[in-house]
């Protein structure tokens, strides 16, 4: 299984975004987590198309776009054109989930599906075969810098088990409150794509990326 650290630029210095991205790239990250918040599905507003298309010109990192919006389906085509490699939508925001997931694939992107902490893994039973990645939120979405919710590790374990039963090679991503103290628990539970915002961009970015990757790959 491939392990990837996906630094979340939500915690980066936006006045110096290009440099921040170069730093994580130089430190050895291959993915970049881009949080899209619309102020409705979640309370805050983050960034949109112009940010993605401008950073796309600067880096070949794999763009892992996490949409936290009330109507993610309407945004998919534009995000794909702007340079997303993988688009993840929330079950909680998709009344026609199957259609939305197929649209992501049609637009040429890898397909991700996310669930909030309080949502059961069982809502994913029917769509596991048509996604590349499941994102288990380990905080309630909306802000960086929140504390990791420990019961979510069990959901990672459940999804890994469900994938195994179906013979699927599925990526499992965790997002929220992951740092050097919490990363081991989610990796042990079966997560292989690890998002980290504050734990990467606060302090020495190079040392942070190397430390987290080191624990993950051990």
Ligand X SMILES: O=C(CO)[C@H](O)[C@H](O)COP(=O)(O)O
Task: Provide long-range contacts, Cβ within 8 A and 24+ apart, for 37-42.
Answer: 37/68, 37/69, 37/141, 37/142, 38/68, 38/69, 38/70, 40/69, 40/70, 41/68, 41/69, 41/70, 41/90, 41/92, 41/93, 41/141, 42/68, 42/141, 42/142, 42/143
Residues 178, 173: Cα–Cα separation, whole Å: 11
Question: In the complex, which residue's CB is closest to Fe ion?
Answer: 66
Q: Which of 41, 1, 51 is nearest to 217 (CA)?
A: 1
Choose among Fe ion, ligand X, none what residue 198 binds, the Cβ cut-off being 5 to 8 Å by kind: ligand X
**Considering the complex, what minimum distance in angstroms separates the CB of residue 137 from Fe ion?**
8
**53 scored as a contact of ligand X (CB under 6 A):** no
Binding span for ligand X by CB under 6 A among 18-26, 103-111, 153-161, 171-179? 171-179
Q: State the DSSP H helix or E strand holding residue 19, giving kind and residue range, or none if neither.
A: helix 17-27
**144 scored as a contact of ligand X (CB under 6 A):** yes
**72 scored as a contact of ligand X (CB under 6 A):** no
- Ligand-binding annotation for 48, yes or no, is no
Place of tokens 């939508």: 89
The reply to whether 78 belongs to the active site is no
C-beta closer to ligand X: residue 49 or 129: 49
**44 scored as a contact of ligand X (CB under 6 A):** no
**Considering the complex, what minimum distance in angstroms separates the CB of residue 9 from ligand X?**
9
The reply to whether 175 belongs to the active site is yes
**35 scored as a contact of Fe ion (CB under 5 A):** yes
**38 scored as a contact of Fe ion (CB under 5 A):** no
Label each residue of 45-81 as H, E or C. ECCCHHHHHHHHCCCCCEEEEEEECCCHHHHHHHHHH
Per the annotation, where are the binding residues for a divalent metal cation?
Answer: 33, 35, 66, 175
Binding site for ligand X (CB under 6 A): 8, 10-11, 33, 35, 66, 68, 139, 141-146, 175-178, 195-199
Catalytic positions are: 35, 175
């Amino acid at each position: 299984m491939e392990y990837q650290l996906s630094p979340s630029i939500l915690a980066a210095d936006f006045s110096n975004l290009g440099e921040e991205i170069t730093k994580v790239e130089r430190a050895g990250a291959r993915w970049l987590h881009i949080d899209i918040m619309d102020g409705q599905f979640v309370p805050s507003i983050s960034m949109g198309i112009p940010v993605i298309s401008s950073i796309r010109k600067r880096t070949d990192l794999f763009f892992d776009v996490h949409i936290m919006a009330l109507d993610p389906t309407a945004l998919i085509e534009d995000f794909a054109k702007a340079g997303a490699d993988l688009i993840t939508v929330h079950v909680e925001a998709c009344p026609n989930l199957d259609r939305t997931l197929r649209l992501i694939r049609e637009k040429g992107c890898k397909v991700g599906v996310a669930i909030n902490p309080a949502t059961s893994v069982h809502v994913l039973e029917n769509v596991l075969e048509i996604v590349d990645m499941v994102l288990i939120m380990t905080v309630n979405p909306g802000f960086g810098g929140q504390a990791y919710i420990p019961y979510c590790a069990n959901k990672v374990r459940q999804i890994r088990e469900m994938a195994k039963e179906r013979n699927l090679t599925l990526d499992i991503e965790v997002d929220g409150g992951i740092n050097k103290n919490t990363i081991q628990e989610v990796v042990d539970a079966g997560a292989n794509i690890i998002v980290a915002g504050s734990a990467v961009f606060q302090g020495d970015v190079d040392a942070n990326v190397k430390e987290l990757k080191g624990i993950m790959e051990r």
